[in-house]
Amino acid sequence: MIIKNIPHVARPFSHTARHSRQPVVRSLAAYGTVQDTHTHHSSTPPPPPPPPHSTFYQKPSSTVKQDQLFSDETRLQLERLRQHHFHATNLPDSPDFGTNQYLNINEELRQQLKDIVAQFHAPVRYAFAYGSGVFQQTGYDKKNKPMIDFIFGVSHPEHWHALNMQQNPHHYSGLRYLGSNAVSYIEENFGAGVYFNPYVEVNGVMIKYGVVSIDRLCRDLIDWETLYVAGRMHKPVKILRDDARVRLANQVNLTEAVRVALLTLPETFDQVELYERIAGISYMGDFRMTVGENPNKVKNIVGAQLGHFHRLYFSLLDDLPNVAVLNNGQFQQNLNPKFRGLMVQKLPRTLYDLIMKQHREFAKRSHLEVPMSKASTYQQIASSPNLPQYMDQSLRSIIARPALTQSIKGIFTAGVFKSSRYVSAKLGKWAKAK
């Protein structure tokens, strides 16, 4: 399969150099909380990898179809994984792969969340909970319990909605009368490819759940098509049902977030600056940050969840040869154009295309000669003082339209009453925070 075909590319430093960087890992670990160091003893350990003889690891043959796990389109997207050289202990066929994505929360809350997902009879292949209802955020009143947010990844949205509408017709607005085919069409073709049902009570808990196809989810994680769900997963989420394919795609997503942050940070920075930059990626160009969201949202998220951010990203930072930790606890990156050019080359496809387009247009206006060599072009972009501007404009271009159209879609999928209630709650938080 596609994972087996990912070549092992020699790292740009020797085995000896890798061992010489181990103190860096220990220094990074110092930033984590005690619960964040339990890689092998998490309350929700990752499922074991399939045995070597399983279909997931077999090479394509006449008896094993390549699309048993992936569609043709998704397999083409996963080809981009060849550009991502993971740490030797963080390879896709390692039992430890992706364990940084498993975050510890209160055991009682974890069980409550799993029980909520278990109430849905339609098959949920991948699920996570997120937001202030799961992870504490600075500035929120603990007495007023917020609605808990979920994302469900499903294999076949039309079939899933058909089953769910039989079990839970009251979860849907009047669109359910058009049938599951119409609901699935609206999900897939409008907004960011997610269908939300807000203000639903399950097991006595008020929740909002979004449904997205696994194919659409993986494309967003790898290529940043909309950054709607991929950007949400840059921040701490609690995985309740795991899927090997999504875990692999999300590891790429997290690695790409680190690269974007590094390309827009100075040579020396601290962990808060890094995590705030990562957490803020998905809010670039989102109209809700102007009206409707707490303007201090990013700072509040990072401030209250620093240990979880460290758990997500410290192993990925150690995977980059151009980042080190100084004695004062700050990070330092090597600004050598060679290293930074490689990061530009490995940006998500959608972001990469937009940045290349902006650079070509700037070069044309400024009569700047663009090198014939791609490697030299990447280095030229990486060294350009315009790179932060390229990055911000490109991210806004990716995010703005899906964020707006998804919100408009929510008026129809949730219904007027629920939509008005949701908007009122958001505006109340926004006004209180100003």
The pLDDT of 243-255, averaged and rounded, is: 94
- The tokens describing 66, both together, are 């390549």
Name the residue with tokens 């069409």.
185
Lowest mean pLDDT among 126-135, 183-192, 203-212, 284-293: 284-293
- 398 belongs to a structural domain: yes
- 65 belongs to a structural domain: no
- 332 belongs to a structural domain: yes
- 241 belongs to a structural domain: yes
- Distance, in Å, from the CA atom of 58 to the CA atom of 132, rounded to the nearest integer, reads 42
pLDDT digits (tens, 9 = 90+) for 213-237: 999 999 999 999 999 999 999 999 9
Strands 331-333 and 195-202: unpaired
Between 61 and 140, where is the model more confident?
A: 140
**Would you say residue 274 has pLDDT above 60?**
yes
**Would you say residue 402 has pLDDT above 60?**
yes
- 265 belongs to a structural domain: yes
The pLDDT of 148-164, averaged and rounded, is: 97
Burial of 111 from C-beta contacts in 10 A (0-12 / 13-18 / 19+): exposed
The domain tally of the chain equals 1
Rounded to two decimals, the pTM is: 0.77
**Would you say residue 124 has pLDDT above 90?**
yes
**Would you say residue 211 has pLDDT above 90?**
yes
Burial of 255 from C-beta contacts in 10 A (0-12 / 13-18 / 19+): buried
**Would you say residue 44 has pLDDT above 60?**
no
**Would you say residue 419 has pLDDT above 70?**
no
- The tokens describing 44, both together, are 């929700």
The pLDDT of 320-348, averaged and rounded, is: 90
Structural domain span for residue 112: 99-432
Q: What is the mean pLDDT of the chain?
A: 79
DSSP states along 195-210: EEEEEEEETTEEEEEE
Name the nearest CA neighbour of 88 among 182, 176, 13, 170: 13
Lowest mean pLDDT among 40-44, 403-407, 427-431: 40-44
Q: Where are the alpha helices (DSSP H) in 264-305?
A: 271-280, 297-304
pLDDT of residue 90: 55
Between 37 and 406, where is the model more confident?
A: 406
- Contact (CB, 8 A) for 135 and 236: yes
pLDDT range class, residue 432, cuts 50, 70, 90: low
- 386 belongs to a structural domain: yes
Strands 205-213 and 148-154: parallel
pLDDT digits (tens, 9 = 90+) for 385-400: 999 999 999 999 999 9
Name the nearest CA neighbour of 44 among 104, 108, 125: 104
- 133 belongs to a structural domain: yes
**Would you say residue 267 has pLDDT above 90?**
yes
Between 144 and 233, where is the model more confident?
A: 233
pLDDT of residue 5: 41
pLDDT of residue 100: 94
The pLDDT of 16-35, averaged and rounded, is: 36
- 26 belongs to a structural domain: no
